[in-house]
Amino acid sequence: MSTFWVACAVIVSLYVAFWHYFKATTWCRSQTCLIGKTAIVTGANSGIGYETALDFAKRGARVILACRDKNRAEVAKMKIVKETDNENVVVKIVNLASFDSVRDFAKNINETEERLDILVNNAGLGGVKDDKSDDGLLLVMHVNYLSAFLLTYLLIDLLKKTGPSRVINVSSIAARFTNFDVDLINNYTGAYTIYANSKLCNLLFTMELAKRLKETEITTYCVNPGVVQTEIFRHVKGYSKVFINIFKEDFFKTCEEGAQTTIYTAVTKNIEEYNGCLFDNCKVVDTYPTADVKGLPKKLWEKSVKFVELKPEEIMY
């Protein structure tokens, strides 16, 4: 065989292998109806969060779009209502870079909503350097993890009262590839590392939350959505940006594809035995070795309680 044909075979094989690894999608086939149920999706105005909210609205849920920008959220709401004919889609504003805003949002939910069946901690950002949040913490860690921790914590009573209910935490494959030190979660160690650490925190939080709530009807699942063509990469610069632009069309999942595992864990019946587990492509997978460290989820929980400065009247678990 000539060198030309060998090269062609290698290129095609690589293409197929990459396609299969990144793009192949298992679809959520659950027909679960959500009429009468309430779901909150953070970061629901774009990407994976938008597709998740759209799916819940199609199933008849009351869907709360928890977003920071009123205009973007209202545009998303209009599109969802138009596509689903479900008028029960509402926008509630929360800035996950501020613990005060999270507390105000949770207070509003606890005072105005009768039930909460599904909470999806989806909002996130990446490719950001050492920018600080309103509370002076690393922005990425604050938005991607610490606010999700606080929000969930403050909504536990409502989730408990509603039960069975579910909390879904959106993580990333990046959580597998990081050198994590729980004592340094607020130390800047590079844009990739801080993102990966925050996504590992999402997984560790899921594991510990499941343990602490095992006597309740709340279950919790962690999701790796895959690599998805969303706006999350807008802050990425340099060679990484070039790489993303070359590969995204062929190899990254569409937003709808990327939302499938989140939707699966939120609506599929009889997955409670996997409480606290990690899901990828609509199936349960082994936890990442970076999370499989004795005592680490508990240590992170205790550290998080300090970071979010839980008030005495808030401490329950």
Ligand X SMILES: NC(=O)c1ccc[n+]([C@@H]2O[C@H](COP(=O)([O-])OP(=O)(O)OC[C@H]3O[C@@H](n4cnc5c(N)ncnc54)[C@H](OP(=O)(O)O)[C@@H]3O)[C@@H](O)[C@H]2O)c1
The nearer residue to ligand X, 156 or 201, going by C-beta atoms, is: 201
- What span, in angstroms and rounded, lies between the C-alpha atoms of 92 and 103? 13
List the interface residues with ligand X, window 144-183 (CB under 6 A). Answer: 144, 170, 172
Residues 6+ apart with CB under 8 A from 311: none
Q: Is 49 in the site for ligand X (CB under 6 A)?
A: yes
Q: Is 197 in the site for ligand X (CB under 6 A)?
A: no
- What span, in angstroms and rounded, lies between the C-alpha atoms of 88 and 71? 18
Q: Is 274 a catalytic residue?
A: no
**Tokens (6 digits) for 147:** 């606010």
- Choices 55-63, 221-229, 289-297, 302-310 (CB under 6 A): range interacting with ligand X: 221-229
The nearer residue to ligand X, 46 or 197, going by C-beta atoms, is: 46
Choose the catalytic residue: 50, 153, 195, 221.
195
User: Of the candidates 34, 91, 106, 123, which one interacts with ligand X according to CB under 6 A?
Assistant: 123
Q: Is 219 in the site for ligand X (CB under 6 A)?
A: no
The nearer residue to ligand X, 69 or 217, going by C-beta atoms, is: 69
**Tokens (6 digits) for 15:** 């293409």
- What span, in angstroms and rounded, lies between the C-alpha atoms of 19 and 253? 10
Residue at 50: amino acid letter: Y
* Residue 223 buriedness (CB in 10 A; 0-12 / 13-18 / 19+): buried
What phi and psi, each to the nearest 5 degrees, are found at residue 173? -60, -25
The nearer residue to ligand X, 49 or 276, going by C-beta atoms, is: 49
What phi and psi, each to the nearest 5 degrees, are found at residue 271? -110, 10
Q: Is the peptide bond before 225 cis (omega within 30 degrees of 0)?
A: no
CA-atom Rg of the chain in angstroms:
19
**Residue number with the shortest CB distance to ligand X?**
47
User: Of the candidates 68, 77, 166, 176, which one interacts with ligand X according to CB under 6 A?
Assistant: 68
What phi and psi, each to the nearest 5 degrees, are found at residue 99? -65, -35
The nearer residue to ligand X, 94 or 218, going by C-beta atoms, is: 94
Q: Is 95 in the site for ligand X (CB under 6 A)?
A: yes
CB of 256 to ligand X, least distance (A): 11
List the interface residues with ligand X, window 222-281 (CB under 6 A). Answer: 225, 227-228, 230-232
Q: What residues line the site for ligand X (CB under 6 A)?
A: 43, 45-49, 67-69, 72, 94-97, 122-126, 143-144, 170, 172, 225, 227-228, 230-232
Catalytic residues: 195
